[in-house]
Chains A and B, each alone.
Chain A
């Protein structure tokens, strides 16, 4: 079974530039998450989708971050304009059912450095 795919793996941009990350969840997984993980900390949820609907985006900085999952499968996370404090790993994860004990599977992450 293929895992959660993310790209690009690494990105370096200057502040005020824009960046987009792509995620393809495990086939059949209805729930998709984007997390931000700053070095030395646990992941912080940015947005959670159930199919193509948003379940929770309360911690998403909506003035600069946006995410979409138009067809309920793959998703993109965009940052525009980027700030230095956005330097982090952006993890995409998916699970098959919401609100159950099903395991959440993570991708390898997209490492962003803002200079």
Chain B
């Protein structure tokens, strides 16, 4: 069964600090992995998409890594801002747009 596990479930950090969110998956076959940011009451918005051959991809203060051998991905947020408070969802595509979603990590950035 395809599964995506995210950790931690929730996280509180001080504004300006860095943090790293983890995503482990058991999805086969593997096409790509995406990180989405979902603000409360809003739909998910894509942050990054990574294919099998990509190890690192950055989008501003967000940096995603992918280790296809260990089936792990991380999302690193640098110099956090209050607006980073949201749920971060890891999504793995096994082809033909068959997506497996993680439950998300709820991040709260505190002033």
Report yes or no: B46 in contact with A42, Cβ–Cβ below 8 A.
Answer: no
Chain B interface bracket (under 10, 10 to 19, 20 to 34, 35 or more): 20 to 34
A56 cross-chain contacts in B, Cβ below 8 A? 98
Report yes or no: A104 in contact with B43, Cβ–Cβ below 8 A.
Answer: no
A61 within 8 A of B: no
Task: In the complex, identify which listed stretch (A62-70, A73-81, A106-114) lies at the interface while the others stay far away.
Answer: A106-114
Q: A4-B43, A91-B43, A109-B42 are in contact. Are A104 and B97 (CB under 8 A)?
A: yes
Report yes or no: A101 in contact with B89, Cβ–Cβ below 8 A.
Answer: no
Interface code B35-56, partner A: CB below 8 Å = 1, 0 otherwise?
A: 0100001111110010100000
Report yes or no: B103 in contact with A104, Cβ–Cβ below 8 A.
Answer: no
Q: Count residues of chain A with CB under 8 A from any CB of chain B.
A: 27
Interface code A41-53, partner B: CB below 8 Å = 1, 0 otherwise?
A: 1111100100000
Report yes or no: B102 in contact with A104, Cβ–Cβ below 8 A.
Answer: no
Report yes or no: B103 in contact with A109, Cβ–Cβ below 8 A.
Answer: no
Of the candidates B31, B42, B49, B95, which one forms a contact with A103 in the assembled complex, judged by CB atoms under 8 Å apart? B49
Report yes or no: A42 in contact with B95, Cβ–Cβ below 8 A.
Answer: no
CA distance A84 to B43 in the complex (A): 22
Report yes or no: B49 in contact with A42, Cβ–Cβ below 8 A.
Answer: no
Report yes or no: A41 in contact with B96, Cβ–Cβ below 8 A.
Answer: no
CA distance A91 to B87 in the complex (A): 15
A95 to chain B, nearest CB (A): 7
Residue of B nearest to A106 (CB): B43
B5 to chain A, nearest CB (A): 11
Closest 10 CB pairs of A and B: A42-B101, A106-B43, A99-B96, A103-B46, A106-B44, A108-B43, A42-B103, A98-B97, A101-B32, A107-B43
**Interface pairs (30), CB distance under 8 Å:** A4-B43, A33-B97, A40-B103, A42-B91, A42-B101, A43-B44, A43-B89, A44-B101, A45-B99, A55-B96, A56-B98, A91-B43, A91-B44, A95-B97, A98-B96, A99-B96, A101-B49, A101-B51, A101-B93, A103-B34, A104-B46, A104-B99, A105-B46, A106-B36, A106-B43, A106-B44, A108-B42, A108-B43, A109-B43, A111-B41
